[in-house]
C-alpha cells in the first residue's frame, strides 16, 4: 500500500496505516512529500534572529556550554540520556563538522544547538531507532554520500523558545542539505505531549490530532509550522518519559521548492 501524507485530521485512517513496517514504502514514492498543503506556507521565509544573536557552526570549545544548554532544555525527570557526552560531541565534529550548528546570544551565551548527519534514503524511511540511526549518538553512521539530511537533535534554551531560533536552525540545515544535493531532510520528532493523552489516544491518533490542529504539541506543532510533513510513527524510537518512546517521522522535501 502507498503511504499517504496526512495533511489534516480528516485523513487519520491512512496515518494509522503508516506505522511500523510500512514506513519503508516511502522509498518507492519519493514525491509523496510534495503537494501537501504545508509545502506552500513554508517555514523558510527569512525571519530575523533577535538582535545580537549569531548562528554559526559548532566548534569544540562550545561543548561544555552545549551540555549545560541540554540540561536546561531537558530538565528532570529527564536524565543524563538527554545530554551528549564530551566524547560524543567531539565525534560529531570528526564525522560531519559542517552539519553542526549553534546560536549564541549577544553576550555569547549558547542558546540553541542542532546536530545532523547524512544517511541513505532506505535507512531514513525504514522503521528505526534513534540509537541505531545515530550510531548510539556518535554519528558513526554518517554517510558522506547519504541522500537524506537527518536531524539528530535540536534544542533551544527554554528562556529563548518561541523567538524563531529553531526556525533559523532548520532554515540553515535546509540550505545545507540543498547545497549538498540532499533530496530531503528527515527526523524522528518528539511528541512530548503524548504522555498526558496516552490513555485516550494511540500515538497515531495523537499525531493525527496534532496535524489537524486539535492538539498543540510543544515540539511537533512547531515543526509542522515550519513546513514538515509527518510520514509515520516510529514506535520505540528513543527512551523518553514524555513521548513514551514514540516519535513522528517528519520530512521536508528539499527539491522543487525555493
Region of 22-30, 87-95, 213-221, 232-240 interacting with ligand COA (CB under 6 A): 213-221
- Residue 245 falls in which region: left (phi positive, over 0), alpha (psi -120 to 50) or beta: left
Q: Report if residue 142 touches ligand COA, rule: CB under 6 A.
A: no
The verdict on 110 binding ligand COA (CB under 6 A) reads no
Q: Is residue 128 close enough to count as binding ligand COA by CB under 6 A?
A: no
Buried b (16+ CB within 10 A) or exposed e, 150-182: bbbbbbbbeebbebbbbbbbbbbbbebbbebeb
91 vs 223, beta carbon nearer ligand COA: 223
Q: By rule CB under 6 A, what count of residues binds ligand COA? A: 22
Q: Determine if 33 is a binding residue for ligand COA (CB under 6 A).
A: no
| Residues 237 and 130: beta-carbon distance below 8 Å | yes
CA angle 131, 216, 19 (to 5 degrees): 45
Contact (Cβ atoms closer than 8 angstroms) between residue 36 and residue 5: yes
Residue 225 is a binding residue for ligand COA (CB under 6 A):
yes
Q: Where does this chain touch ligand COA (CB under 6 A) — which range of 16-24, 84-92, 187-195, 207-215?
A: 187-195
DSSP, collapsed to helix, strand or coil, labels residue 248 as: strand
Nearer to ligand COA, 25 or 176 (CB): 176
Q: Which is nearer to ligand COA, 29 or 197 (CB)?
A: 197
Q: Which is nearer to ligand COA, 36 or 219 (CB)?
A: 219
Cell of residue 128, nine digits: 528505526
Torsion of CA 33, 35, 40, 41, to 10 degrees: -60
The 65-84 site mask, x for binding ligand COA (CB under 6 A), equals --------x-----------
Grid cell 510533513 is found at: 229
As measured in angstroms, the least distance from the Cβ of 150 to ligand COA is: 12
| Nine-digit cell string for 151 | 536531524
In whole angstroms, the minimum distance from the beta carbon of 213 to ligand COA comes to 10
Residues 145-174 as x/- pattern, contact with ligand COA by CB under 6 A? ---------xxx----xxxxxxx-------
Least Å from the CB of residue 44 to ligand COA: 9
- Cβ atoms 256, 234 nearer than 8 A: no
DSSP string, 42-71: -S-S--PPSTT-EEEE--GGGHHHHHHHHH
Q: Is 92 in the site for ligand COA (CB under 6 A)?
A: no
Q: Which residues bind ligand COA (CB under 6 A)?
A: 43, 47, 73, 154-156, 161-167, 189-190, 192, 218-219, 221-222, 225-226
Amino acid at each position: 500500500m502507498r503511504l499517504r501524507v496526512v495533511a489534516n485530521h480528516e485523513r487519520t485512517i491512512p496515518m494509522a496505516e503508516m506505522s511500523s513496517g510500512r514506513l519503508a514504502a516511502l522509498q518507492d514514492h519519493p514525491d509523496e512529500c510534495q503537494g501537501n498543503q504545508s509545502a506552500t506556507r513554508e517555514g523558510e521565509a527569512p525571519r530575523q534572529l533577535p538582535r545580537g544573536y549569531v548562528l554559526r557552526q559548532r566548534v569544540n570549545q562550545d561543548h561544555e556550554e552545549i551540555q549545560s544548554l541540554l540540561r536546561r532544555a531537558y530538565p528532570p525527570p529527564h536524565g543524563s540520556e538527554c545530554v551528549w557526552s564530551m566524547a560524543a560531541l567531539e565525534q560529531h565534529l570528526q564525522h560531519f563538522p559542517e552539519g553542526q550548528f549553534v546560536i549564541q546570544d549577544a553576550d555569547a551565551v549558547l542558546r540553541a544547538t542542532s546536530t545532523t548527519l547524512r544517511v541513505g534514503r532506505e535507512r531514513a524511511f525504514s522503521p528505526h531507532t534513534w540509537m541505531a540511526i545515530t550510531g548510539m549518538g556518535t554519528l558513526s553512521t554518517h554517510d558522506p554520500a547519504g541522500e537524506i539530511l537527518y536531524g539528530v537533535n535540536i534544542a533551544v534554551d527554554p528562556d529563548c523558545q518561541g523567538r524563531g531560533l529553531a526556525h533559523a536552525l532548520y532554515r540553515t540545515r535546509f540550505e545545507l542539505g540543498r547545497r549538498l544535493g540532499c533530496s530531503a531532510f528527515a527526523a524522528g520528532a518528539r511528541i512530548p505531549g503524548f504522555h498526558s493523552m496516552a490513555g485516550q489516544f494511540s500515538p497515531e491518533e495523537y499525531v493525527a490530532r496534532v496535524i489537524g490542529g486539535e492538539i498543540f504539541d510543544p515540539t511537533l506543532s512547531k515543526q509542522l509550522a515550519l513546513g514538515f510533513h509527518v510520514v509515520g510513527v516510529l514506535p520505540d524510537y528513543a527512551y523518553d518519559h514524555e513521548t513514551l518512546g514514540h516519535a513522528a517521522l517528519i520530512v521536508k522535501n528539499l527539491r522543487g521548492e525555493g
